[in-house]
Chains A and B, each alone.
Chain A
Amino acid sequence: MPKYINTKYVDALRGAFIFALQNDQNVILFGLDVDDHKGIQGSTLGLQKIFGAERVFSTPMAEDSMTGVAIGAALAGLRPIHVHIRMDFMLLCMNQLVNMAAKISYMYDGAFKVPLVVRAMIGRSWGQGAQHSQALHSLFMHIPGLKVVAPSNAYDAKGLMLSAIKDDNPVIFIEHRLLYDMQMLLPENYYEVAFGRGRIVTCGNDITIVAVSHMVVEATRAHMHLLSIGISAEIIDPISLKPLDIDLIINSARKTKRLLVVDNAWLTCGLAAEIIALVAENLNEEAAKIKYARLGFAETPCPTAKVLENQFYPSEISITKKAYHMVTENILQNWKHAKIAHSEIDAFRGPF
């Protein structure tokens, strides 16, 4: 019987790194500032002291080439974890990730493999603004050869990180900063969470809500609001975006006949469009009997001012209203919802 401990998302990640670095000498961890006093929001704090500067180290500010170094190290037999404190910086690594990492296994017909984990932190709140907040999973999902995951809780963060490090392919591992302080009971021991398996977060019959990353938290709160007005929503957390557990979503959508996808990203050419297209294609004539809708970022760059930023993201309120409309075909009016005091969104005060 494993021991369960109340653990923050960030500490779950750090715990995973400790297991991985202990278990396999080939695991190395690097990125700008992984060994400083802040330790990537605490996720890498103290690891250099335990495992040495050869295996855990900070790099020059050279995202493109450090990705190349990670790829080279990986194809030579190491298992690098490369860290980016903002996912936006990964746009500087697109060449190496798309042209090199994603191609090597296929182009060299399996002669080389690239067991690489790229940690991409996404964020919101405290005015992260247009260049410090983007969630770009769809860009990476587009590319054959890459895997993309976005765990929404501490349990999945730890187990999926351990799976990602063990995986022989490049994995883009997306961590939402607002989740970092959220706690849950999780086993202290080593365990893995499989790729390509989603989870039903709440069971329901009236509508299926697929939510990604931090939107799982918002959707779960929306679920409580919806219950209070008599609607039962089935919330699905895909956890792994590529490979995607589309069967789980299809089965739920067949049951509820309503599918709302809430992405933590823009909608155009995005994950939400992909999920709906996959469901529709797989269900043939039955597809026409299902109602579909999407929620995601406003089609603007992310603004800094709090009042605008709050409009930019889907919220428990907008999810509730959208779901209500899909189920009842009415607009939710004169609704007095419980105020959520000090959610993780308001609690986050940066400044980093």
Chain B
Amino acid sequence: MFRKNKLVLHLYAKLLLIRKVEEAIIKVYPTDVIQSPVHLSIGQEAVAVGVCDLLEREDWISNSCRCHATYLAKGGDLNKMFAELYGKKTGCAAGKAGSMHLVDKDNGVLGASAIIGSNISICAGVALKLKLQTKAQQQKNLVVAFFGDGATEEGTFTETINFAAIHKLPIIFICENNGLAIHSPLKKRWANLDICKRVQSYGIKTYKVTDGNIFKIRNAAKKAIYKIKKYNAGPIFIECNIYRYLEHVGIRDDHHEDYRNIFEYEKWQKRDAVKKLENMLSPKEVVKIKLDINAKIKSAIEFAKNSPAPNEVDFYKNIYA
């Protein structure tokens, strides 16, 4: 019981950090301190936290431009994230990347691509390097490629899972299936809704979590990580159904638009991982975590505000290595 509570506390703190960071973004966004598109992950945090929780710092992740949750879940630096969103020199990419391309090499975040699906093959390349450098029986580290359901329609998804299967790469493919590619629902885009079955036909082991339950997601990731690190059993594919609470890009709730289903939203709100875990903790525990997170965010925003803007030298720096 005690150990279970410890895990809940730990996961809740991670989930809440992401939720509160994005709520803080929503709060400041109308003031134009962040002058770039933001693709918020609110509602989808359970996948990022569930999968990243058991990764080591030396494992790698990458995502599409909806990357705040995975960046933070993997241990990405919060100060550098806000500074990046604010377009500051102290940002994780000196203000040249912004919200859509959060990167933290020290914490295993490879970056993120605004060209949906393009990060998947790059992750496979990183996995190829990890495989080549590991001559021993056991795979020391692995790569996790996050992407949405839309990305699986890109040719590169199919090309990459095929290549990864041929070379038995140490990679986990995580499909965050929120059922929407911008505003297009799955039924307009997939002739066969069973993506796991499609992926299995490439000789790849798959797991599926349909209800957004963070413990189930974490468990699937745990099995996948173990199989790859212990038995070189990569690649592995995990599909997680999940729900995007807000509009594709921006800070609004757009359930009044005709492409969304309010009943679906209500169903997923009942599954909300942040609320669910909060209910498993004592009010005292919750308050302590909330205070701690609020302080962190406040200090990160101060850091971003007080940081210098990039200058003429930064402008022309690193076009070439």
B96 within 8 A of A: yes
**B125 adjacent to A111 (CB under 8 Å):** no
Chain A 7-32 near chain B by CB (<8 Å), digits 1 or 0: 00000000000000000000010000
Nearest-neighbour CB distance to chain B for A61, whole angstroms, equals 9
Interface residues of B, dominant DSSP: helix
**Contact between B93 and A111, CB atoms less than 8 A apart:** yes
The answer to whether A109 touches B96, judged by C-beta atoms less than 8 angstroms apart, is: yes
Instruction: Check if A78 sits within 8 Å of B129, measured CB to CB.
Output: yes
Q: Please determine whether A106 and B159 come into contact, CB atoms closer than 8 angstroms.
A: no
Q: Is the CB of A72 within 8 A of B156?
A: no
Which residues does chain B contribute within 8 Å of A100, judged by CB atoms?
Answer: 113, 115, 118, 122
Expressed in whole angstroms, the minimum distance between the Cβ of A280 and any Cβ of chain B is 24
A interface residues, how many (CB within 8 angstroms) = 43
- CB <8 Å contact, B163 and A59: yes
CB within 8 Å of B: which of A97-123? 99-100, 104-115
Q: At the interface, yes or no: B55 with Cβ under 8 Å from chain A? A: no
Is A68 within 8 A of B93, CB to CB? no
Does the CB pair A65–B156 fall under 8 Å? Answer: yes
CB contacts (< 8 Å) of B314 on chain A: these are 109
- Interface stretch of the complex, out of B103-111, B176-184, B275-283: B103-111
B159 touching A60, Cβ below 8 Å:
yes
Q: A72 contacts which of B105, B126, B321 (Cβ < 8 Å)? A: B126
A125 to B285, CA, bound (A): 76
**Cβ proximity bits A174-186 to B, threshold 8 Å, 1 near / 0 not:** 0000000000000
Q: Which residues of B contact A108 (CB under 8 A)?
A: 93, 96-97, 101, 103, 105, 111
- A63-89 near B? 1/0 per residue, CB < 8 Å: 011111111111111101000000000
Interface of A with B (CB < 8 Å)?
28, 54-55, 59-60, 62, 64-78, 80, 95-96, 99-100, 104-115, 144-145, 147, 168-169
Jot down 28 A-B pairs with beta carbons below 8 A, ordered by A: A55-B132, A62-B159, A62-B163, A64-B156, A68-B120, A68-B122, A69-B124, A69-B163, A72-B123, A72-B127, A75-B110, A75-B125, A76-B60, A76-B130, A78-B129, A95-B115, A99-B115, A100-B115, A104-B111, A106-B318, A106-B319, A107-B97, A108-B101, A109-B96, A110-B317, A111-B103, A145-B320, A169-B320
Q: Known pairs A99-B115, A107-B93, A168-B321; list 13 more (Cβ under 8 Å).
A: A65-B155, A65-B160, A68-B118, A68-B160, A69-B125, A69-B163, A71-B125, A72-B127, A72-B128, A75-B126, A78-B132, A105-B319, A110-B318
